[in-house]
Chains A and B, each alone.
Chain A
Amino acid sequence: MDLLNNLALGFGVAFTLQNLLYAFGGAVLGTLIGVLPGLGPVATIAMLLPSIYALDATPALIMLAGIYYGAQYGGSTTAILINVPGESSSVVTALDGYKMARKGRAGAALAAAGLGSFFAGCVGTVIIAAFAPPLTELAFKFGPAEYFSLMVLGLIGAVVLASGSLIKAISMIILGLLLGQINTDVISGVPRYSFDIPELTDGIGFVAIAMGVFGFGEIIANLGQPAEHREVFTKDVKGLWPTKQDFKFAWPAVLRGTALGSLLGVLPGGGALLASFAAYTVEKKSPMKPGEVPFGQGNIRGVAGPESANNAGAQTSFIPMLTLGIPPNAVMALMVGAMTIKGIQPGPQVMTSNPQLFWGLIASMWVGNAMLVILNLPLIGIWIKLLTVPYRFLFPAILCFCCIGLYTLNNNNFDVFTGVLFGLIGYIFYKLSCEAAPLLLGFILGPMMEENLRRALLLSRGDWSTFVTRPLSAGLLLAALAMIVVVSLPAIKNKREEAFQDAD
């Protein structure tokens, strides 16, 4: 029973007092920041990166995972209580959740979201533990050509599911790849695009890009819009525990959501996003029981299903990152960046070279999920208070965190200035409706992609056909091509645009 042994090893690591504390701290911090309106998980994690600088690799990743779950939970809370989803995957939660809150059933909605996510998290953890080792085996069979094609597939997959214009999204990926070229070439040792600035020979810090674009750029964009008045249902959160009938309605939705989410989460790109949309559609299509509230008016299944799917997807999206070292979305790109800061090269070798870290992280996912239930349900009052803090107090606080994070990255103000530059760039992207998440993904994958491309070409003696004559590589490229073709088909294109319009 390898699975049990591995999980035992993992829980041994996760259940040390120190790591439990870090998982707890991460979950608290993540919820604290994630609950703030308009801050999605990417911004939250970017902001909280400084908290892991001083830690060892294992506790650092455990804490980051805690932050990620916390941010996700926090986002759902905001979606339910004030109808402002922090990220695209909680958009559908807001549909029925907010309606429930308006009817004074915010407590039941929050509990359904929390318990559903916890269940999904448990299942997701087991799935990762079961599927990671065989996938890692497979990854060891990959040569540079396969890796390159896999990254192409991953990047294309990420934008096919993202919103907006496909061609602009692909351009943003390439822009990210190009920004990743500002470094010292690994093979020849030549500094590229450094303009004789010594700091640039190590490349632009991904923290500076993430904080600049997702932190500063967002703040400027928010401040540029007229202040809106939000209704917060603070006083109405009573009767936290759902009724017996709620349970009866919700649990099949949780099961369906978890299954959908676990499956779709592994896909590159917005796995969690697609999962929550799909789960909502499934719930809407499945037959109503007598006594149920119609969808769109506060049906508990409309909260439980997507939230479970969302969390299961968030969990299983760790699989490609942990086994192949390829981040399927912007959040995982940040994780990869954090691992690199800690001196760990993500990829299939992590499982064998750092089993403590690998299995410890997986076990902490479960621990983190359990803590969130404990944290969120009784302490919901505190989070609700946070929602009422005006933005004029919040944004300087976000700036403080980001600035200190940028400075302490290398104890150097160069990164602060890079952050300023990317704040400006981020605002321009916002103005031109160019999505920044693909850029970050491209930036993280850039150096890896180049190295594999060049090694593949070296091995094939300059023959580009190596990418299509090796069956595995050809299959991956074909899949990427198929995705573009399918999304460009007029019928599907219209559906896709419709779906994203609904989301807005």
Chain B
Amino acid sequence: MKIKSQRDFWSGLMFIVVGIGFAWGATNYSFGNSARPGPGYFPFGLGIILAILGAVVLFKALTVEVEGGDKVGAFAWRPLLIILASIALFGVLLPWLGMAIALPILVFTSSAAGDEFHWRDALINSAILTVGSWAIFIKGLSLTIPLWPTFMQTAAQ
């Protein structure tokens, strides 16, 4: 058995796994009957349908010839990891350090994900975006975002 379309093969597999996962999870909730459907009724049915559709996609990926094998191609690991890690870091830091510190860190670290990285540009960008975000979100839209680190707030009070 040869895979004819890589992308469809993995998509099909993903749909099957997720579909079965949801259907299996639905068995924890009362299924009810069709006259009185319980909380597990709809997700169970959907999960099964998704798994079936996934199987069709998978079957086609193994049988229908596609030009060039429809390769998934290399993952862009560098941007993927750097971007996601910098966002997650922002999520961790913001409640502790406030926007004034967490946001420049976000801009600076994420800038490293691009092909071209210049220290000076990243620093300037951090400064502009932090001041801009403060002006737009805190001053302009009066959203509640911690601005300064928690230890400085208690010291100020």
Contacts and interface: CB of A to CB of B under 8 A. Distances in A.
Interface of A: 50-51, 53-54, 165, 167-168, 170-171, 174-175, 177-178, 181, 185, 187-188, 190, 192-193, 216, 219-221, 223-224, 226-227, 390-393, 395-397, 399-401, 403-404, 406-408, 411, 413, 416-417, 419-420, 423-424, 427-428, 431-434, 450, 453-454, 457-458, 461-464
* Majority secondary structure of chain A interface residues (helix, strand, loop or mixed): helix
30 contacts: A51-B141, A174-B49, A181-B46, A190-B29, A190-B30, A216-B84, A219-B79, A220-B80, A223-B76, A223-B115, A226-B115, A392-B111, A396-B106, A396-B107, A396-B111, A403-B87, A403-B103, A404-B99, A404-B137, A407-B145, A408-B145, A411-B144, A416-B88, A423-B83, A428-B14, A431-B7, A432-B7, A453-B37, A453-B42, A461-B35
Nearest to A399: B110
Nearest to B9: A432
A223 B11 contact: no
Given A413-B91, A419-B87, A432-B72, A175 B137 contact: no
Contact of A408 (B18, B36, B137): B137
Contact of B53 (A170, A220, A221): A170
Interface residues on B, range: 35 or more
A464 B53 CA distance: 22
A171 B86 CA distance: 31
Contacts of A54: 141-143
A399 B86 contact: yes
B68 to A, nearest CB: 13
A400 B43 contact: no
A122 to B, nearest CB: 31
Interface string B32-72: 01111111111100110110011011001000000000001
Contacts of A458: 35-37
A174 B83 contact: no
Contacts of A216: 83-84, 87
B22 interface: yes
A434 B92 CA distance: 31
B35 A178 contact: no
Nearest to A226: B115
Among A181, A396, A458, chain B packs the most CB atoms within 10 A around the CB of: A396
A457 B42 contact: no
A185 B54 contact: no
A403 B102 CA distance: 11
Nearest to B73: A431
B15 to A, nearest CB: 5
Given A223-B113, A392-B111, A174 B7 contact: no
Given A393-B121, A400-B106, A462-B36, A167 B57 contact: yes
B145 A181 contact: no
